[in-house]
């Protein structure tokens, strides 16, 4: 029996259809720009804690790192050469020895409202059930209409759509970027306005993680980097880091570029959506992380210590 040749590169990813679509996109782009044969780039599926734990809200079991930890362990050990992630799943602090070498050009940042009984959130009946596992989406919906009831929805895009079809909720919210990548954007009943319902920090951006000491792979991956996406995502991640944000905190961010100026909107909500604080900041697009940090400080000052203590107590 002939042994399989050792791949030039092994790409690590979660195993959901969306994660695999993202990994294949990265592989295709690497092949296109460097002339590799697709057969020489392997894709390895790695099951993460976030995939394994389906019966509890993420806020109860550890937050963002649940979708990256096992992948990063294999990256550090050399079992894979690069990892492909959804940027919004990434903790703001990476393990020592790892770096985000590239961000692909960002997809649509907006959320999609999906319902089989109403054409918009306004048209849902009194006491309607919103299926979501996102504290941000839950808080934004409760802020929009206090009568909404939140039903926990875990699982990949297909699982959540099936739960909706089975009547477990009256509506759900999904990232439009994911629906677009899966060719499922026809499922969107309505695309929500991104200023009224700002997205999660870094939503819609694929990132590629490599080892800092693997300069060869780092150079190959860096060729895929989209500078404008990096500027926006680094600003939003700086904002998130300033607030010590995780899956346990309802935080939203929206960045816009106008030439060399970046404008960043930040939103911090109470878990029940009854309190919301928004601030905006503009500055040099190359100073994104610092802009994000300053915006976070502005929001913390606006919200006040009592609000922040209450939010931390909700963890």
pLDDT tens, residue by residue, 21-79: 999 999 999 999 999 999 999 999 999 877 666 656 555 555 667 789 999 999 999 99
Are 97 and 235 within one domain? yes
**Distance, CA of 179 to CA of 186 (rounded, Å):** 8
Q: Is there a contact between 251 and 136 (Cβ–Cβ < 8 Å)?
A: yes
Shared domain for 244 and 162, answered yes or no, is no
pLDDT score of 54: 62
Residues 16, 132 within the same domain: no
What pLDDT does residue 50 have? Answer: 73
Q: Are residues 212 and 91 in the same domain?
A: yes
Interhelix angle for 288-303 vs 305-313, to 10°? 100
Predicted model pTM: 0.92
Please check whether residue 138 lies inside any domain of the structure. yes
Active site residue 89: yes
Parallel, antiparallel or unpaired: strands 171-175 and 206-211: unpaired
Q: What is the pLDDT of residue 53?
A: 64
19 located within any domain: yes
Residues 78 and 123 in one domain: no
- Residue 176 CA: distances (Å) to CA of 111, 113, 136: 5, 9, 16
Are 96 and 233 in a shared domain?
Answer: yes
Q: Which of 51, 81, 89, 108 is catalytic?
A: 89
CA dihedral 143, 149, 154, 156 (to 10 degrees): -70
* 67 HSE (CA, 13 A, CB side): 23
293 shares its domain with 217: yes
Count of the separate structural domains present in the chain? 2
Q: How would you list the strands of the sheet with 276-284, edge to edge? A: 251-258, 261-269, 276-284
**Sites in the chain below the pLDDT cut of 50:** 1, 314-315
Domain residue limits at 245: 9-107+201-313
Indicate if 32 and 69 belong to the same structural domain.
Answer: yes
Domain check: are 221 and 93 in the same one?
A: yes
39 with 172, same domain: the answer is no
d(Cα 74, Cα 82) in Å, to the nearest integer? 9
CATH number for the domain harbouring residue 281:
3.40.190.10
């Amino acid at each position: 029996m002939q042994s399989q040749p050792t791949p030039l590169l092994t790409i690590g990813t979660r195993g959901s259809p969306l994660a695999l679509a993202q990994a294949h996109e990265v592989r295709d782009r690497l092949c296109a720009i460097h002339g590799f044969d697709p057969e020489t780039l392997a894709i390895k599926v790695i099951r993460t804690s976030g995939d394994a734990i389906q019966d509890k809200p993420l806020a109860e079991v550890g937050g963002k790192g649940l979708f990256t930890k096992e992948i990063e362990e294999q990256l550090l050990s050399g079992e894979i050469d690069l990892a492909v992630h959804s940027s919004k799943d990434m903790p703001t602090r990476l393990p020592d020895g790892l770096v985000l070498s590239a961000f692909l050009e960002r997809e649509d940042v907006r959320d999609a409202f999906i319902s089989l009984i109403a054409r918009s959130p306004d048209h849902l009946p009194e006491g309607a059930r919103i299926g979501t596992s996102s504290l941000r989406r839950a808080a934004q919906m409760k802020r929009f209409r206090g009568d909404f009831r939140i039903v926990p929805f875990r699982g990949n895009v297909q699982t959540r759509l099936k739960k909706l079809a089975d009547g477990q909720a009256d509506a759900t919210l999904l990232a439009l970027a994911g629906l677009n990548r899966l060719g499922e954007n026809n499922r969107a009943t309505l695309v929500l306005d991104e200023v009224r319902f700002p997205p999660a920090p870094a939503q819609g951006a694929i990132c590629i993680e490599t080892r800092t000491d693997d300069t060869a792979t780092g150079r190959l991956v860096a060729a895929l980097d989209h500078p404008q996406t990096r500027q926006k995502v680094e600003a939003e991640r700086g904002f998130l880091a300033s607030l010590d944000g995780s899956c346990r905190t309802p935080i939203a961010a929206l960045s816009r570029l106008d030439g060399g100026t970046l404008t960043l909107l930040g939103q911090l909500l109470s878990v029940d959506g009854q309190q919301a604080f928004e601030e905006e900041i503009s500055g040099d697009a190359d100073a994104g992380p610092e802009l994000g940090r300053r915006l976070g400080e502005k929001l913390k000052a606006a919200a006040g210590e009592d609000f922040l203590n209450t939010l931390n107590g909700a963890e």
